[in-house]
Amino acid sequence: MIVVAGLGMSGSYLLKRLDDEGFEVRGFDPKTQDFYVPCGYATNIRKLRDILRSVNLNADDYIEREGKDVTISGPDLPELTFSSAGICTIDKNRLENDLISGHKHERARAKYESGDTVIDATGVSRYYLGQAENDFLMYTKEYLTDEADHADFHFRYFSRGTGYYWEFPLKNGFHVGAGADSVEAINQSLAGVVYKKVLSRKIRLKPLFDQMFNQNIIGTGESIGTVSPITGEGIIPSLTSAEILVQCLKEAVDTEELKLLYRERIRDRFAAYQGLFDLLVSSRNGKMFTLRNIKNAKFAKADFEGFGIDIKIWEIMRHLIPI
């Protein structure tokens, strides 16, 4: 039996995919159906369309708002405008509910027996895998608001990779939030914002591809660090890691082979995240302009594009390079 622990983005997708593939599978998550999960709900509709095709869902049915112009600013960066390359917000809660509907699951913590394969899809908590060594988490706080300063998607980066503030438009209202090293920095950036709802949790920005397993427990999604270290994007990456796990479960003859295959493919698919994490650390240490970071800047461009933003990285670098 496969036990999917956590029915957020990766777990709900896994439950449906594995059940549809004929695996004996059961899902668990203690959250109530209408629990409002802290997430900006921004994603790339072009990528989501491809992924949801494999579960016979139409990504366009979940669109809240499609982006047109995305503005990005920072302490040494004037507000620059880039075109959308597919960025939108989606109704993530409804998508998760639709994915698990009709598949065996309980609103409870996971119940399993020895011999079961447990998939830890509990996101930042890694509840079943256990705490990671040398983890890297940031605080976040997000408001649901009626208004925002920008009508379209907006990112404002803080100095030296210490976090960013965002405004993402929804069907009705906005997600306005911030992630940073300290709660004080977050509160400062959100001061004066009038909100209807407030939520907070930490976000994992470090790939943990050397800490994906604990005996019969296998991690996926944010539990193993499939979150972009520079944008905080985790929806498509967690779905991607879940699909990789489905393929490995179909191919592997035993748990050992499963782990080998899965680790190799995750490392391969998310190789850029290590470079982006190095970029983040360099930025925090004030050592951005190294030869290694030229390659990482290319990863950064691809990462923003993957999130649905047609970024011109040299337009940004022109303002940041000290001359």
Count Cβ atoms below 10 Å from residue 207 Cβ, excluding itself: 26
Comparing CB distances to ligand FAD, the nearer of 5 and 190 is 5
CB of 287 to ligand FAD, least distance (A): 27
Structure tokens at 302: 């691809």
CB of 85 to ligand FAD, least distance (A): 15
Give the interface segment with ligand FAD, choosing from 35-43, 58-66, 148-156, 188-196 (CB under 6 A): 35-43
Comparing CB distances to ligand FAD, the nearer of 92 and 288 is 92
1, 24, 31, 251: which one binds ligand FAD (CB under 6 A): 31
CB of 105 to ligand FAD, least distance (A): 10
Q: Is 189 in the site for ligand FAD (CB under 6 A)?
A: no
The span from the CA of 282 to the CA of 35, in Å, is 37
173, 234, 275, 306: which one binds ligand FAD (CB under 6 A): 234
The span from the CA of 292 to the CA of 251, in Å, is 36
Q: Is 27 in the site for ligand FAD (CB under 6 A)?
A: no
> What distances in angstroms separate CA 225 from CA 126, 163, 320, one per listed residue?
10, 17, 28
The span from the CA of 91 to the CA of 89, in Å, is 7
CB of 224 to ligand FAD, least distance (A): 8
x/- contact string, 80-109, with ligand FAD (CB under 6 A)? Answer: -----------------------------x
Give the interface segment with ligand FAD, choosing from 116-124, 156-164, 243-251, 291-299 (CB under 6 A): 116-124
The span from the CA of 315 to the CA of 78, in Å, is 11
Comparing CB distances to ligand FAD, the nearer of 172 and 322 is 172
Q: Is 227 in the site for ligand FAD (CB under 6 A)?
A: yes
Residue type at 288 in one-letter notation:
M
Size of the site for ligand FAD (CB under 6 A): 38
* Cα 286 from chain centre: 26
Residues near ligand FAD, by CB under 6 A:
5-11, 28-31, 38-43, 109-110, 121-123, 125, 127, 140, 142, 177, 201, 203, 221-223, 227, 232-235, 238
